[in-house]
Amino acid sequence: MEKDSKTILETPLITFVIVNYNGSEYLKRCLSSIKEQNLNHECIVVDNDSQDKSKEILKEFNTKNIFLSKNEGYPKAINIGLESSLGKYIYLITPTTFLKKNSVANMLNYIAPQKVGIVAPKLIDEKNNIVKSIRKIPTPISLLLGTLGIPELNLGFRKIISWKLRNFDYSKHSEVEQPMSCALLIKREIFEKIGHFDERFFLYFSDVDFSKRVLKKYKILYTPDSGATHIRGGLTKTLREKRILIINNDLLRYLKKYHAFAFCLFSGIIFLAGRIRFLLEKKRLNKFFS
């Protein structure tokens, strides 16, 4: 547990779980922002076989570190961190997310009610632009349109809009369906009642799956007065064109789990579209770096 010369606020123990993969560029700033929250907490870092200077940076902080011998994927690494956690609340945070002052204390004000299970903060990027982090649980059609690069489809009598909620009002407190998992305060009891993250996913759609299960028993809240800075794609950029295949494969896993009929209808189209995008991106990157 972090100690500081300042008085630590009297709060229930919060366990911060960080899944790190070659995040040395951001890790120090993330851990410093956690320490500055001045809360009763512990910090667990699960490292997915990083090959950068992450280990050296972690020596500067009083964190519990779990170093994996290979990249096990995001959901499995979260679950490994959870197994070692002691907190009444779990705060999932990525190395590319930096908490604003009093952010977590503000979130604690909203998570106490029995029906509230998760609280998500407002995210901005380094240019102070809102990160569009709130989404709906996607339908099979919206997933197919997203794969094909079509944000919405007007059928005359009905408009099918992307699950990414481009017009969401980030200035208001709201009950939401699916926030990004880069910064989430979660009641520990949730994991005991609905289970941990599904390790069949490698990186993407694990948060969609988790939110979908949470909503069966709890509410998920978004709070604009609890802030964090988030750098999108800061870690996944190292995956280069492989990221497209990971997204595609995890999307198919999600469809197969929840929409078997749609999986049978659309899996071929989604698979082919993903492979075409992968080849185009690979060609673009090879040309860029040559």
Give per-10-residue mean pLDDT for the chain (290 aa). 52 93 93 94 96 94 96 95 96 96 93 93 94 92 76 54 82 96 96 95 95 97 94 70 84 94 85 77 55
Give pLDDT, residue 66: 97
Is 255 within the bounds of a domain? no
Give pLDDT, residue 155: 52
Is 156 within the bounds of a domain? no
Give pLDDT, residue 277: 77
Is 182 within the bounds of a domain? yes
Is 32 within the bounds of a domain? yes
User: Tell me, what CATH number does 44's domain have?
Assistant: 3.90.550.10
What domain range includes position 50? 1-132+168-232
What's the gap between Cα 194 and its chain centre? 18
Is 13 within the bounds of a domain? yes
Give pLDDT, residue 17: 98
Give pLDDT, residue 268: 84
Give pLDDT, residue 274: 75
233: tokens are 């794609």
Is 49 within the bounds of a domain? yes
Is 221 within the bounds of a domain? yes
Give pLDDT, residue 134: 96
Overall domain count for the chain: 1
Give pLDDT, residue 150: 65
Neighbour tally for 114: CB within 10 Å: 9
Give pLDDT, residue 90: 97
Give pLDDT, residue 289: 42
Is 163 within the bounds of a domain? no
Give pLDDT, residue 166: 82
